[in-house]
A = this chain, B = another copy of it.
Amino acid sequence: MKDVARVAGVSPMTVSRVVSGEPGVSPGTAARVEQAVRKLGYQRNDNARNLRQKNLGTSTIALVVDDLANPFYALMARSVEDEAHRRGYVVLVGSTNDEPRREREVIAAFTARQVDGLIIVPTKGGHGFLKQPMEGGTQVVCVDRPAKGLAVDTVTVDNRAGAERAVAHLLGHGHTRIAYLGDRYDIWTQRERHLGYLDALAAHGLPEDPDLVRHGLRSHREARAALAGLRALDRPPTALFTSNDLITLGVLDGLDHPAPVAIVGFDDLPLAERLSPPLTVVSQDPVAIGGTAANLLFARIGGDRSAPRSVVLLTRLLVRGSGEFRAETTTEHPGHQR
């Protein structure tokens, strides 16, 4: 900046004014400055700028998700990025792998860089470490799951109702032995979806059969193994409810083709409608979720100090075929099997 000032024959202050588009510079001077800027290829150092202007922010937000490679979070990230870009903000991203320790590290790196706001998919760990940055003015919004003990805007979907609808759908087709395959039980969405599963069973007067419930499936492989275990039971399930996309993929991989059991999965997948049978799913809208979270965050950054809001978006049951086998064909007439 000093160099530009020298070349243009003005003071650094005038360069600052021109570069930042502030008024009060004569057109002639401005032109000379702009020429010097182009000649030297000068670009303002925004970090230095943000250091001085304490009242304005850094025009940087951060997004902390479980796993950026997961298409669900990738879509959310893109949606957040678009909202940020519209407003002249940039986005830092980090994946936690659902590890509280990595979450802490990543968020600390972000707050140390003075981000104006944070959109996080919180892990099961505590979030006391957010208190100080929040008092310092950093805004926080939770997405996908609430953070225990953290009173901030939160965007989730109706996991429990969505899961209940899925399982009720299977019950409506005559199934009574419906397995639940879920990820780690310490993940809020998984607990909610399991509760929805139980709700549906209870509404039909059915008790939970522990043999049919598998928690903690962290991978494609584990989901596949759990399915094998279920099918080896004396009275195997005639229908499956898979509680996230990864588990759905694993289960599909372990089944014959076409699948001999009914399946409904939570989360839509590309190509789901091209499978045979097409996959029935409970779908949520990651773009809407990300966009909503971003809008809440920018409202806060813009000065909104109202009480924290919880926004619950709705899931939809997409009936396509895989959940509509009648139970009779596999259980009530065992003689017909194999």
Interfacial residues, chain A to chain B (CB-CB below 8 A)? 41-48, 50-51, 58-60, 67-71, 73-75, 77-79, 81-82, 85, 88, 90-95, 102, 105-106, 108-114, 131-133, 135, 249, 252-253, 257, 269-272, 274-276
Can you add 12 more A-B contacts, CB < 8 Å, to A82-B95, A249-B271, A276-B276? Answer: A41-B132, A46-B109, A68-B77, A68-B78, A71-B71, A74-B77, A81-B94, A90-B94, A91-B94, A257-B276, A271-B272, A274-B275
Give the residues in chain B near A44, CB-CB below 8 Å. Answer: 112
Give the residues in chain B near A51, CB-CB below 8 Å. Answer: 45, 47-48, 51
Contact of A271 among B48, B70, B85, B275 (CB under 8 A): B275
Contact of A132 among B43, B68, B131 (CB under 8 A): B43
Contact B43 A108 (CB under 8 A): yes
Give the residues in chain B near A42, CB-CB below 8 Å. Answer: 132
Contact A81 B93 (CB under 8 A): yes
Contact A43 B133 (CB under 8 A): yes
Contact B106 A85 (CB under 8 A): yes
Contact A78 B85 (CB under 8 A): no
Copies of this protein chain in the complex: 2
- Nearest CB of chain B from residue A221's CB, rounded to whole Å: 15
Chain B residue with the shortest CB-CB distance to A113: B46
Contact of A95 among B45, B78, B133 (CB under 8 A): B78
Contact A41 B71 (CB under 8 A): no
Contact A112 B43 (CB under 8 A): yes
Contact B92 A90 (CB under 8 A): yes
Contact A60 B275 (CB under 8 A): no
With A69-B78, A81-B68, A94-B91 as given contacts, are A252 and B274 in contact (CB-CB < 8 Å)?
yes
Give the residues in chain B near A71, CB-CB below 8 Å. Answer: 69, 71, 74, 270
Some 27 contacts from A to B, beta carbons below 8 A apart, are A41-B131, A44-B112, A45-B112, A46-B112, A46-B114, A47-B51, A47-B58, A59-B109, A60-B92, A67-B78, A68-B74, A68-B77, A68-B81, A69-B79, A81-B93, A81-B95, A85-B105, A90-B94, A92-B92, A249-B271, A269-B270, A269-B271, A271-B272, A271-B275, A275-B275, A275-B276, A276-B276
